[in-house]
Structure 1
Amino acid sequence: MNGQTDPPRLALLISGLGLGGVQRTMLTLAGGLADRGLAVDLLVPDDRGPFRDQVPANVRLVNLSRWWLRLPVIRTRKRRKALLMAPAVAAYLRRERPDALLSASHYVNLGALWGRDLAGTGTRLVISQRTQLSVAITNSKLPVLHRRPLLAWLTRRYYPRADAIVAVSDGVADDLAAVARLPRERVQTVYNPTDVNYIVRRAAEPAPHPWLEDGGPPVIVAVGRLAAQKDFTTLLRAFAHVLERRPARLLILGEGGLRPTLEAQVAELGLGAVVAMPGYAENPFSALARADLYVMSSRYEGLPGALIQALACGCRVVSTDCPSGPAEILDHGRFGRLVPVGDAPALAEAMLAALETPPDPQRQRERAAQFSVPRAVDAYLDLLLGDEAVNFRQTAG
C-alpha cells in the first residue's frame, strides 16, 4: 500500500467528460469511493466537457492530454483517443503509483491494459465492460479494413491480462464471456451505482417542460440520445397507436444526429401537437418524477441508468426486453412491463396497460435502492484492493 498512514490511492480511467451513462456512473462511483476515505484520481484524455462541473470535490481530476491526442484526426474520435492514450496512462502509473486502476468500456480497457504493460509497474488493473461486446463489434469504426474481427481479436488477446473483469449486468457478462472466449467465472457482475438521494433532491426542482405541470392529458417521457440504439422510431409508431385509444402526450428528452429523421416522422404521423423533443435535459429527474409513464424503447443497452432513475423517481415504466439489463432491473416484469424489441403494437399495448395501472411510487423506489452506491462501492473495493479491502475497512472504521 502507499504507507501506513496514507489511504489507498485508486485511479479511474474514462474516455472523457462528455455526456453519457458511463461518465455519469463512473463519477458517482468515484465520489462514493472518495467518501469512504480513499484517495481517488479520475483520469481523462481531455478535461473539458459538460460533466466537468459534476466531478466530486473530493476526487482529483487528472488530465492525460498529450499533443498527439489533440490532433484533429484524434481529438474528436473517442475510440481512437482511448486506444492512443496508453503512453499517457503509463506515465501516470509510473509517476503516481496508485494501488489499483479501474477502466470503463472496451476501448478504454484496451488503452488501460496497454498502458499498464508499458509502465511495467504491475499495477492491479480491473476492467469493466459497459455494454454488449457483440454489439460494439458490429458497430466498430476502427479505421482498418477488417475492423470487426480486429476488435474481437483485441479483446480476446488482451482482456485475460486484467486482474479482474467486471460487467454491469449478467447479460453483458454472458455476452462478454462468449465473444472474448473467457471462462464465465472470470467475469463478475457489479451493477452500476445509482445515487437515489441525489435523484430525489433533483426531482424536486422545477419541471423542464410545461406539459408536466398543466394538468392536461397524461405525459409519457423517454430519455436518451437521438440515435438508432434508442429506437425512438418504434416509440413514435407505438405512440400513434396509443392515441387511437386515448389522449396522451410524448416528451423525448435528448439530443443527437437523428433529430431531423425523428422530426420528419413526427410530421408524417401528424403528431406535432402531442410530441415534444426539447433537447438534452441536464436534470431529467424532475421530468421523471412528474411523468405518468417512462418508456425505454432501446434496441440494446448494458445496464440502462435512465430505467433505474425512473424507478427512483417512483415512475411507472415500460421497456423493451433488449440485451442487456432491463429484465434484470425490472425483475423480469415485476416492476415494469417488458416487450419485444422493435414491436410497435406490443409497445403500445404495454403503454396503454401501464397508464391504467395504479401507480405505486414507494414500491418503485425500493426497487431502485437495490442499485445503490454503497453496494457498488463495496463490490469495487473488494475487486480493486483484494485482500487489503478488509484491512482498509477495519482501519476506516
Structure 2
Amino acid sequence: MVKKSPHIALFLSYLGGGGAERVMLNLAEGIAKQGIQVDLVLGRAWGPHLGKIPSQVKLVDLGARGILGKLWSLSRYLKKKKPLVILSGMHYANEIAIGAKFLSGGSTKIVVSEHNTISRAIQQTSQTRKLLIPILVKYLYPLADSIVAVSQEAAKDLAQFTGLPLEHICSIYNPVISSELQTKSQAAIEHPWFVADDCPIILGVGKLFPQKDFPTLIRAFDLVKKERSARLVILGWGSLRSQLEALVEELGLQEDVAFLGYVQNPYPYMARAATFVLSSAWEGLPTVLIEAMALGTPVISTDCPSGPAEILDSGKYGWLTPVGDSETLAKTILSVLDGQTKKIDPVWLKQFEVETTTKQYLQLFDVK
C-alpha cells in the first residue's frame, strides 16, 4: 500500500546550470502536479538554476560543505522527514544519498540516476575523482534500491563500467518537453541579430567545457562562412570561454560569433535559429537537442555516446555527424541552411514529455 500522502525528495549537491539539473526541476514539477509532496534537497543552495525552482516544490537547503558535511546533513534530513523515496543525480550526490540512507537507519528508498556516459565523463575529471568515482560507483550503486540511466546507451556504458548486470539498470528518458516550452519560446529577444532576421543564425547551447567540443563547431562555422553568410551564437558559461574566444579571434570570426553566456530562457533563441547544432564529444541524453526538436528547429548533432542517435532515431529526425569532424559538420550545416529538412513525428516526441517521464518514475517509485 502507498502512503496516503506520499512524500518524495530529489537530491542534488547544488543547482548548476546544466541540462541534468534542469530535467530534475522538470521532474520535480511533474511529480508535484500529481498532488505529491516534493522536496528539492540541495547540499548547498547555490547555482544558476535557483530561480527556476517551481513554486509547488519545497526547497530544502542543507547548507552543508564537503562530502562529509552533506552526508551528515542529508542523513539527518532523512531521519527527520522520512520521505518515501529520494532520487539523487550525479556525483557525488548519488554516493552521498546511499550513504545517508544507511546512516539514517530509515526505510526511504534510494534511487540514483546517471546523467552522463560515465566512462567518457570520468576521463575529464581530476585525478582524485578518476580514482574515487569508479570505486564508489562499483560498490555503492548496488546498495541503491534502483539505478536509472537517462538513455539505453548510457545504461549499457554504466553496466560495462561497473560490472553490474544491465537488467539491474532502468532506462528512463529525461523529462524535457513541457506545456510551457512553446510559451517560453515566444519571449522577445533584444539581441540585434535576432531582431534583424537578415542572416541565418546557427545556435549552440551548453557549458563551455571540453565535453561540448565547441572548437569543432567554431571550426565548422569558419568553413560555412567561406561559402555563405551566417552567424554563430553560443549560449552557456564555463571555464573554456577565453580559449574559445581566442579561437574565434584566430579565425577572424569576431564579427560573426557571439558568446551570450548563461541565459535564463534559451528557448526563444532556439525557436528563431536556422539550425541548432550539438557538437559534443559525449553526452548522456542531451536535453537541448530534444528542446530544439520540440520547437521545430532543424537539429544537427555529433553521433556521440550517448543519446543523440536515440533521440534522432538514428538520423531519421535530424542529422548525425562524426565526433570532432568539422568538415562534415560544416557540409551538413550548409545543407540545412540551403533548405534540407526532416519532418518530425509528434508521436515520437511524446516519449520525452514531462508527463510521460513522470509516470515512468512514479511507477519505479511504486507510487500509483
TM-score, normalized by length of structure 1?
0.88
**Aligned-pair CA distance for 1:364:** 6.7
Residue 50 of structure 1 aligns with an amino acid whose one-letter code is P
Partner residue in 2 for 1:346: 328
**Aligned-pair CA distance for 1:194:** 1.2
Shift of the 340–373 alpha-carbon distance from structure 1 to 2, 3 Å rule, reads: same
Shift of the 142–99 alpha-carbon distance from structure 1 to 2, 3 Å rule, reads: farther
Residue 360 of structure 2 aligns with an amino acid whose one-letter code is A
Shift of the 54–316 alpha-carbon distance from structure 1 to 2, 3 Å rule, reads: same
Measured in 2, the distance between the counterparts of 1:291 and 1:358 equals 15
Aligned 8 A contact 1:93 1:121 in 2: yes
**Aligned-pair CA distance for 1:142:** 6.0
| Matched residue SS, 1:58 | coil
Measured in 2, the distance between the counterparts of 1:233 and 1:365 equals 33
Would you say 1:222 and 2:204 are equivalent positions? Answer: yes
Residue 354 of structure 2 aligns with an amino acid whose one-letter code is V
Aligned partner of 2:301 among 310, 314, 319? 319
Would you say 1:156 and 2:138 are equivalent positions? Answer: yes
Map 1:202-351 → 2, pairs under 5 A: 202-351=184-333
**Aligned-pair CA distance for 1:359:** 4.7
**Aligned-pair CA distance for 1:141:** 2.5
**Aligned-pair CA distance for 1:217:** 2.0
Would you say 1:108 and 2:93 are equivalent positions? Answer: yes
Aligned 8 A contact 1:218 1:292 in 2: yes
| Matched residue SS, 1:125 | strand
Would you say 1:29 and 2:27 are equivalent positions? Answer: yes
Across the two proteins, how many residue pairs are aligned to each other?
368
Measured in 2, the distance between the counterparts of 1:294 and 1:21 equals 16
Residue 209 of structure 2 aligns with an amino acid whose one-letter code is A
Measured in 2, the distance between the counterparts of 1:178 and 1:371 equals 26
| Superimposed CA distance per residue, residues 173-232 of structure 1 (whole angstroms, 9 cap, x where no aligned partner) | 011000011000111110010133211011100125221231322111111112211111
**Aligned-pair CA distance for 1:254:** 1.5
Measured in 2, the distance between the counterparts of 1:315 and 1:116 equals 43
| Matched residue SS, 1:242 | helix
Aligned partner of 1:92 among 54, 63, 77? 77
Measured in 2, the distance between the counterparts of 1:40 and 1:107 equals 21
Aligned 8 A contact 1:315 1:359 in 2: no
Measured in 2, the distance between the counterparts of 1:263 and 1:148 equals 29
Shift of the 208–165 alpha-carbon distance from structure 1 to 2, 3 Å rule, reads: farther
Measured in 1, the distance between the counterparts of 2:60 and 2:262 equals 27
| Superimposed CA distance per residue, residues 140-171 of structure 1 (whole angstroms, 9 cap, x where no aligned partner) | 3364xxx5243212111111111111000111
Structure 2: gaps of 5 or more residues:
none
Aligned partner of 1:138 among 123, 127, 134? 123
Aligned 8 A contact 1:292 1:355 in 2: yes
Structure 1: gaps of 5 or more residues:
75-80, 393-397
| Superimposed CA distance per residue, residues 32-80 of structure 1 (whole angstroms, 9 cap, x where no aligned partner) | 00100111111101123332222111111111124xx1xxxx4xxxxxx
Measured in 2, the distance between the counterparts of 1:279 and 1:148 equals 29
Residue 185 of structure 1 aligns with an amino acid whose one-letter code is E
Overall identity of the aligned pairs, in %: 42
